[in-house]
Amino acid sequence: MKDFLRFIRFSHTVFALPFALGAMFVAAGGLPTLRVVLGVLAAMVFARTAAMTFNRLADWEIDRRNPRTAGRHRLASRPVAIAACVFSSAGFVLSAWWLNPLCLALSPVALGIVFFYSLTKRFTHFAQFFLGLALATAPVGAWLAVTGVFALAPLVLAVAVLLWVAGFDLIYATQDYEVDLSEGLRSMVVLLGVPGALRLAVWLHAAAFLGLAAFGFAAGLGRFYFSSLAIVLAALAYEHIEARRGDVESINRAFFQANTVVGIAFVAGTLLDRLA
């Protein structure tokens, strides 16, 4: 189990989950019912596991040729990955059914989006934005789980998440610049080069920060939420300072530590605002 969790990078669940939880708290005006909480958590875990196992299967041979990812195939076999992908996909659909009819109806669309991302580097330089779109479905889905209807606020939040994810994945993808070039893969890093990609990441995160502020206004949030944005801004600034060092350790700190703080600050701000 430990190897499988490393195989799907389960620790990276902390990126999308806080935004789903925050949207859920705002939509519910505080703490939702236990049924909704359990349904959203199950849907998030199943969706991410399905997406990551599909990604590993799609990139199996590419990952084996990449020095950074060459050991992944030793953590789980292809049959295990296929079984996990099928099981998790079914679990996600059942979780959506448990929540409400709209979530169930949209569950195949959500799975299609998160699966499609894994194929995008083969034909478009906008792969990072497709990853952002995949994670942006989380807050919209959580909002629908509570209310059963679309609204402006979660869509604004989804745009902010899309920009935030695209920005930090640009930073992370700089590690694979040479490999992507040799494999004929496409990304914004390949298109712009490492310096250009890092500059674009700054602008994307600036826009994402404004999007988070816009979500606060659209959702009618108050001082606790907007105070948490100061922490978000500091974490994003730290991320880019570390990323510009260019070494693997700094990039990993920028990627994981800073974005974990962003997620925690966001979910804490939304919960405190709704409970105050």
Show the tokens assigned to 266. 């966001």
Distance CA 112, CA 49 (A): 14
Burial class of 250 by CB neighbour count within 10 A (0 to 12, 13 to 18, 19+): middle
Q: pLDDT tens digits, residue range 3-51?
A: 666 666 666 666 789 999 999 999 999 999 999 999 999 999 999 999 9
Contact 263, 232 (CB under 8 A): no
User: Are the C-beta atoms of residues 140 and 119 closer than 8 Å to each other?
Assistant: no
pLDDT digits over 140-181, tens only? 999 999 999 999 999 999 999 999 999 999 998 998 898 888
Domain boundaries in the chain?
Answer: 2-275
- Cα 147 to Cα 27: distance, rounded to the nearest angstrom: 7
CA distances from 81 to 49, 55, 69, 129 (A): 10, 10, 16, 25
Instruction: Return the pLDDT at 5.
Output: 63
Question: What is the fold, at CATH topology level, of the domain defined by 2-275?
Answer: Tetracycline Repressor; domain 2 (1.10.357)
Q: d(Cα 9, Cα 72) in Å, to the nearest integer? A: 10
pLDDT in tens, 190-219: 999 999 999 999 999 999 999 999 999 999
- pLDDT reading at 101 higher than 80: yes
* Predicted local confidence at residue 247, as pLDDT: 76
